[in-house]
Amino acid sequence: MYEIGHFIGGKRVAGSSGRTANVFNPATGEVQAKVALASDAEIHAAVENAKAIQPAWAATNPQRRARVFMKFVDLLNQNMQELAEMLSREHGKTVEDSKGDIVRGLEVCEFVIGIPHLSKSEFTEGAGPGIDMYSIRQPVGIGAGITPFNFPAMIPMWMFAPAIACGNAFILKPSERDPSVPIRLAELMIEAGLPAGILNVVNGDKSAVDAILADPDIGAVSFVGSTPIARYVYGTAATNGKRAQCFGGAKNHMIIMPDADLDQAANALMGAGYGSAGERCMAISVAVPIGEETANRLIDKLTPMVESLRIGPYTDDKADMGPVVTKEARERILGLIEKGVEQGANLAVDGRDFKLQGYEDGYFVGGCLFDNVTPDMDIYKTEIFGPVLSVVRAKNYEEALELPMKHEYGNGVAIYTRDGDAARDFASRINIGMVGVNVPIPVPLAYHSFGGWKSSSFGDLNQHGTDSIKFWTRTKTVTSRWPSGIKDGAEYIMPTMK
């Protein structure tokens, strides 16, 4: 049993609220740690630390800020195995999958090494008689990030890397389910040369979130989680005068055209649907084969693949996926599977009774495959966030296209085809934020922006890419004229550029 506190002012500190939460080992069901849950006073202490140091960090030239991230990337690579095992121990995903989690965050840190270029603005000489005009991007001051359990390394780095590179201080409130890695990342940032107090990690629950949203010194908030909470965070932040970007749930479809390579499509569905036990906001959870022949062939290919999934603890280096994160998550997934059966879907592969010898109390769910799912069923409408793939059969391309178009969520979508015209039409017409063409998990690389549409995203600017630089800075426009160009006497009319 170990204890996890907070990281404030460049060092680990114990919690002082007297409230804690259990951190479980998802493979065994055992409590392995206690994590402190912050009080309003602890949130305030983190903000005060950030407030004291942020002006000096903002005044640090961008090349020097970039050098911190150069060193941090090097440290991430040096400590990759330690971080991955730490992440897997609390989350449950395989170690190799955890390394992928870390690397996708590392890539954003590599991107922000270009902050001297990314933060450049515009200048117009001679905008008017004797007048020059220029814009500058300045940090918002203190930013905050509220991150989910499923990517405890990647998503914190997606938030704090661009925020800090832009000259802000940052308050990170990670998930209390797997809190160790975010604190370790903060330690590595200090080792990389970040001044103490610029990155603070405060663990907590809803009360910590509310304290962040209420604090007048926090200027911008980034959130990833469920749609109901995303709406709450976005609305509350806006009411309190904060900039916000909030990312919610998903129900990602893959359209399989009759001309698609079905072996390729089946392999893609397995990785995208069952990797990380389906606990990814970009997981493919709905397969849409077009035509009965395509659907029947796809089911024939998928069924033995799902049945042969290797499921084990993170210590099993041959496992395809591990357990889900908590007992409550497992019970919710099983309840939705049961609902799917009740509503008439065909459960072609039933993983509900999966048990792993020696890990009977772990939060394992076997791979499940539904066929003949219809849009009125709960398993279609709801983000299951587990190892469950639903097959919805479509008669033709237009019917297939309509499914993701009409769904509440608009995070990611994919099409598998050999037809370039179909792929181009699909990418142009679909009302989804991230589109894959023969790519099952279309998460953009760090220099493009990540973000969904519809109920999957709230706010005008996305994560990473150039959107992140815009989100974590404010534009100031300066109009400048020097005495030689100034006429004598007052002017009472509206200035124009005649």
Q: Where are the domains of the chain?
A: 2-246+457-478, 252-437
One pLDDT digit (tens) per residue for the chain, 498 residues = 899 999 999 999 999 999 999 999 999 999 999 999 999 999 999 999 999 999 999 999 999 999 999 999 999 999 999 999 999 999 999 999 999 999 999 999 999 999 999 999 999 999 988 899 999 999 999 999 999 999 999 999 999 999 999 999 999 999 999 999 999 999 999 999 999 999 999 999 999 999 999 999 999 999 999 999 999 999 999 999 999 999 999 999 999 999 999 999 999 999 999 999 999 999 999 999 999 999 999 999 999 999 999 999 999 999 999 999 999 999 999 999 999 999 999 999 999 999 999 999 999 999 999 999 999 999 999 999 999 999 999 999 999 999 999 999 999 999 999 999 999 999 999 999 999 999 999 999 999 999 999 999 999 999 999 999 999 999 999 999 987 766 677 778 887 766
Q: Is 240 helix (H, G, I), strand (E, B) or coil?
A: coil
What is d(CA 400, CA 14) in angstroms, rounded to the nearest whole number?
53
User: According to the model, what pLDDT value does residue 490 have?
Assistant: 78
Provide the pLDDT for residue 483: 78
DSSP 8-class letter at 231: H
Kindly list the catalytic residues.
281
Q: What is the pLDDT of residue 482?
A: 87
Give residue 498's pLDDT. 61
Alpha carbon of residue 15 to chain centroid: 27
Q: What is the pLDDT of residue 136?
A: 95
Phi, psi (rounded to 5 degrees) for 412: -135, 160
Report how far residue 139's alpha carbon sits from residue 276's, in angstroms, rounded to the nearest whole number.
Answer: 36
- The superfamily (CATH) of domain 2-246+457-478 is Aldehyde Dehydrogenase; Chain A, domain 1 (3.40.605.10)
Look up residue 35 and give its two tokens: 């994590």
- Which residues partner with 11 through β-bridges? 8
CATH classification of 252-437, choosing from 3.40.309.10, 3.40.50.2000, 3.90.78.10, 3.40.190.10? Answer: 3.40.309.10
Hey, which residues does 394 pair with through a beta bridge? 290
Bridge partners (DSSP) listed for residue 477: 135
Question: CA 85, CA 99: separation in Å to the nearest integer?
Answer: 9
Chain length of the chain: 498
Spatial neighbors of 360 by CB under 8 A, at least 6 apart, are none
